[in-house]
Amino acid sequence: MQTEATLAQADVSDLDLVTRCQAGDTEAFDELVTRYRTRVFGMIYNMVHSEQDAWDLAQDSFLKAWKSIKRFRGRSSFYTWIYRIVMNVTIDWLRKKQVKGGGSEFDDSIQLKEVEPASKTVPKSEALPHEMIERSEIRARIDQAIAQLSPEQRAVILMKEIEEMQYHEIAEALGCSIGTVMSRLFYARKKLQNLLRDVYENI
Amino acid sequence: MKTFEEKWTAWLDGQLSGRELAEFEASLPDKAAAEAEKAVARKLGVLLKRELGAPALTNEEFFSHQLRERIRESSVPSAEREAKASTWWTIPRLLWTGTASLAVFLIFTIFVIRDKNPAEESQYLTQILNARVDPVVSPNATVSMFEVKQDRVTVLWTEGLQSLPADYAAK
């Protein structure tokens, strides 16, 4: 149940809350966390495919945001700023995991063998009896395909297609140029088109 | 100067316009194939959007609670944290602890001595005194000492002595 205070806070802009955070107001930060925790968690989950890891990384991202909130100058939206932190934390984590795992996750030589576009897991023409099963199969295929992308490509495709962010926002969040964003998007799409052809052809 | 990849991406996302759009479309060798690919890219986008909807964050309140706790912990001033982390046994603390322990020991000892049972004390002395009686000279002799604390009186009781030992002295 929403209290009067929370109803009033709904009208407060992110920037006002950030200003209060910069003065040490943890309640203001709490409000920002409430606004973005689901989106941040969802974004990370789509990058790492593990609820527990997504939870931990979202926690680390918000903690890092709190520690560096005084450096936020308002040149971008808070949303873009927090996404930059989220992406740094998540990409670092994925890279460390990749090193620990022997670097096989993004090995181009095995990716097409692992996710064969003509795989029997999702038949081309006939639907599985239960829609739920079909959806979970599709989801698994997409997750597998996304896992074949580099961390940067994952970030770009998810921010563009799921978050519907603009090129300049993605560039800001990833700390790279707009051209780099567009280039990564190009290769990410090509790879996903190859890996998921049989899936999207049926929709 | 944009690369082909950049122009292609911008074209797919409808970000090209005017002269740039016309030039790019004119440069395509097979516009029909490009349009088909554009449709595929859109289908892929729809698929991703539909299937990758953010999973629900369960226990949202606990998430915020946990974060608040972590923020609170991280907000403890570093000096305080260092003090907590540093070894407790600094030299002044060692000295203070040593003095306190000694004081406790002395107080405890005084109380134990004061509370000692007088009868036990007398029996102990009696045993010592008995040991001083020469059994050859006085085979049936006994020497006892009793102390009555409330009257501040000590009684030396001897029996069966032929004579007192020359070196006798109750120390």
> What is the average pLDDT across A37-55?
91
Counting one residue from chain A and one from chain B, the pairs whose CB atoms sit within 8 A come to 114
Q: Do A187 and B40 make contact, defined as CB atoms within 8 angstroms?
A: no
B93 lies within 8 A of chain A by CB: no
Domain residues of chain B, as ranges? 4-51, 87-116, 117-159
Which residues in chain B have their CB less than 8 angstroms from residue A162's CB?
A: 48-49, 52-54
- pLDDT value, residue B139: 73
Phi/psi zone of residue B138: left (φ > 0), alpha (ψ -120 to 50 degrees), beta?
beta
> What is the average pLDDT across B95-113?
88
Displacement of CA B54 from its chain's centroid (Å): 41
Q: Which residue of A has its CA nearest to B2?
A: A179
Alpha carbon distance B171, B169 (integer Å): 6
- Per-residue CA distances from A165 to A1, A150, A192 (Å): 31, 19, 19
- Per-residue CA distances from B96 to A9, A125, B103 (Å): 54, 85, 11
pLDDT band at A4 (very low <50, low <70, confident <90, very high): very low
Mean residue pLDDT across chain B: 78
Phi, psi of B102 (to 5 degrees): -65, -45
Question: What does the H/E/C string look like for chain B?
Answer: CCCHHHHHHHHHCCCCCHHHHHHHHHHCCCHHHHHHHHHHHHHHHHHHHHHCCCCCCCCHHHHHHHHHHHHHHHHCCHHHHHHHHCCCCCHHHHHHHHHHHHHHHHHHHHHHHHCCCHHHHHHHHHHHHHHHCCCCCCCCCEEEEEEECCCCEEEEEEECCCCCCCCCCCC
Indicate the helix (H) or strand (E) that contains A111: helix A108-114
Q: In this complex, which of A55, A182, A192 lies closest to B6 when CB atoms are compared?
A: A182
> What is the average pLDDT across A85-110?
72
Contact B48, A43 (CB under 8 A): no
Phi, psi of B145 (to 5 degrees): -130, 135
Q: In this complex, which of A38, A179, A185 lies closest to B54 when CB atoms are compared?
A: A38
Q: Do A183 and B43 make contact, defined as CB atoms within 8 angstroms?
A: no
Secondary structure letter of residue A123 according to DSSP: -
Residues whose CB falls within 8 Å of the CB of residue A80, separated by 6 or more in sequence, listed in order: A165, A169, A172, A173
Tens digits of residue pLDDT in A65-80: 999 999 998 888 898 8
Question: Which chain A residues have any C-beta within 8 angstroms of a chain B C-beta?
Answer: 26, 29-30, 33-34, 37-39, 41-43, 45-46, 51, 55, 58-59, 62-63, 66-67, 135, 138-139, 142, 157-158, 160-162, 167, 179, 182-183, 185-187, 189, 192-193, 196, 199-201, 203
Shortest CA gap A74–chain B (Å): 22
Phi, psi of B153 (to 5 degrees): -125, 140
Percentage of chain A lying above the pLDDT 90 cut: 50
Alpha carbon distance A199, A174 (integer Å): 29
Tens digits of residue pLDDT in A158-200: 999 988 899 999 999 898 999 999 999 999 999 999 999 888 7
The CATH classification number of A104-203 equals: 1.10.10.10
The structure's pTM equals 0.61
Q: Is the pLDDT of residue B28 over 70?
A: yes
pLDDT band at B153 (very low <50, low <70, confident <90, very high): confident
Shortest CA gap A81–chain B (Å): 19
- pLDDT value, residue B90: 76
DSSP letter string, A150-184? -HHHHHHHHHHHTS---HHHHHHHHTS-HHHHHHH
Q: What is the token pair recorded at B56?
A: 């629900």
What ipTM was predicted for this assembly? 0.72
Q: In this complex, which of A62, A160, A203 lies closest to B46 when CB atoms are compared?
A: A203
pLDDT band at B57 (very low <50, low <70, confident <90, very high): confident
Q: In this complex, which of B50, B53, B74 lies closest to A63 when CB atoms are compared?
A: B74
Q: Do B9 and A186 make contact, defined as CB atoms within 8 angstroms?
A: yes
Closest C-alpha to A197, from A125, A106, A116, A130: A116
Q: In this complex, which of B5, B47, B67 lies closest to A196 when CB atoms are compared?
A: B47
**Pick the residue with more confidence: A38 or A6?**
A38
Q: Where in chain A is the domain with CATH 1.10.10.10?
A: 104-203
Task: For residue B155, list its beta bridge partners.
Answer: B146
Any idea which architecture A1-102 has in CATH?
Answer: Orthogonal Bundle (1.10)
B163 lies within 8 A of chain A by CB: no
Which residues in chain A have their CB less than 8 angstroms from residue B34's CB?
A: none
Alpha carbon distance B120, A22 (integer Å): 76
Alpha carbon distance A3, A164 (integer Å): 32
pLDDT band at B2 (very low <50, low <70, confident <90, very high): confident
